[in-house]
Structure 1
């Protein structure tokens, strides 16, 4: 399977029309049609459903599209990162969830882009499982993980900041008058939880035998979207501190859990991988920020 053919395949998947894709690729329509037929023959499966006006992907075609995008992206990135010798340029791709620790990391990245304008940065959002999976596939250079996770398969740096769990609620809520929130305060309250935290039973020890009395009405992956729901229906979101805008016009307020609950923040990258110059620079500067 050649990269050129994968690029042809992606062009047709995007255009949904062989004629338009051929024009975009600057190849003839018969040539493109034959390349696609040869690809289907090579893989032993049908990739397209050829309609009268539009081509759509089969389930196998849709799977190949997602993997082909990763392969092409990784290839292009590798090519870019080895083009230069002395000048630091290329691309740095970092995946992370929402966390106070990102401030330090963004400061490091910002300094690199100011000193080396040819460096391109790609930030990807997601939970720890998604970020670790993308790192292992090679589509991320670094992943930022919140919480305790096995790290023996990675190089890593733990940063000094920690994320604190608490409750996000409306400012005029009675619970907002308290300095901290304990498990009994949340009995029968409509709760929104991080999907990953719920899956990992993160609060099982914290609320103990009161777990059956917790009214979990939904989960979220992005804090901003869940904030809108809290503001709209008066629910309670268990989330990290420092993730909301504390301006005077903000209708929400954060109160930490009691007993306190914190998560460590770790930057990880793959072992046995030759890092590009820009990746090496990121590691050096992140280490330097910890020393300072």
Structure 2
């Protein structure tokens, strides 16, 4: 007889294309996860995945089984979570974590309209997700999506990053991508961190190489970076929502074709998935951004 847990393991493997990643998500050992898959394949009588050195790829039978089973598993899990939520104490306050620039630009202006009490914390994505793991935060807005047991992510929005330069900077006028890269590499750069976050993304996505740049200044605050750019300290990369709310207008966007997109997610503990306060907070934030 088929064990319900075999189906849950199968669906998790299907989503992550990996037994090891699925085991982490389900908080199981890898051998136990492999045994679930082997048992289900034996029961079905067919191979459900094609195994390669790095990933698992579903067979046609595997795709068919997933389309049949996944909605049933999700419905049952939702029902179970609803029962659990009914017995959980209501959160009287939401402990919210976000980058302080995003919070200042997107949340703070509408905070007075929220009907939920909040305690806010600021930090990098890594720092905030660690606090979420430790139950020191209830809801996090993050640009990173790690596979952490017991934590679920829901997409919030896309943010666009563009290159900015001082208003009086003379830009090399060319459509040649190689000449643009050469000119940009010769400029002074201001970075959010030593590892050139987002700047590195632009080089990788548009120039297919790593940037040969040593930042002239490292400033871990996007609004202060924009001020420094406007004052002539160098070039940088800024999200468009920061530019839209800028009042001095001393910086200008350059090479708009070299922009990059960055995804932002809500992250929360699975045990809080059905709490109405979490859902209400996510709805309010999504409406405001």
TM-score band w.r.t. shorter chain: 0.5 to 0.7
For 1:187-206, list aligned pairs within 5 A.
187-195=185-193, 198=196, 201-206=200-205
Distance 2:284 2:190 in 1: 37
For 1:18-167, list aligned pairs within 5 A.
90-97=92-99, 98-99=101-102, 103=106, 110-113=112-115, 119-146=116-143, 149-150=146-147, 153-159=150-156, 161-167=157-163
5+ residue gaps, structure 2 = 1-88
Report the 3-state secondary structure (helix = DSSP H, G, I; strand = E; otherwise coil) of the residue aligned with 2:271.
coil
Distance 1:149 1:176 in 2: 39
Distance 2:260 2:273 in 1: 37
Report the 3-state secondary structure (helix = DSSP H, G, I; strand = E; otherwise coil) of the residue aligned with 1:157.
strand
Cα pair 1:162 1:263 within 8 Å, conserved? yes
| Cα distance change, pair 131–210 in 1 and its aligned pair in 2 (3 A) | closer
Distance 1:241 1:147 in 2: 19
5+ residue gaps, structure 1 = 1-84, 114-118
Report the Cα offset of residue 148 of structure 1.
5.4
Residues 92-137 of structure 1 show CA distances to partners (whole Å, capped at 9, x for unaligned) of: 221112349963x668855433xxxxx4223322221111111112
| Cα distance change, pair 259–223 in 1 and its aligned pair in 2 (3 A) | closer
Q: Please, what TM-score do these two structures have when normalized by structure 1?
A: 0.53
Report the Cα offset of residue 266 of structure 1.
0.7
| Cα distance change, pair 139–230 in 1 and its aligned pair in 2 (3 A) | same
Q: Check if 1:229 corresponds to 2:228.
A: yes
Q: Please, what TM-score do these two structures have when normalized by structure 2?
A: 0.53
Report the Cα offset of residue 183 of structure 1.
2.9
Distance 2:98 2:283 in 1: 19
CA RMSD of aligned residues (A): 3.9
Distance 2:172 2:161 in 1: 15
Cα pair 2:229 2:235 within 8 Å, conserved? yes
2:167 maps to what in 1? 171
Report the 3-state secondary structure (helix = DSSP H, G, I; strand = E; otherwise coil) of the residue aligned with 1:140.
coil
Tell me how many residue pairs correspond in the alignment.
193
Distance 1:194 1:278 in 2: 33
Report the 3-state secondary structure (helix = DSSP H, G, I; strand = E; otherwise coil) of the residue aligned with 2:201.
coil
| Cα distance change, pair 151–262 in 1 and its aligned pair in 2 (3 A) | farther
Cα pair 2:166 2:231 within 8 Å, conserved? no
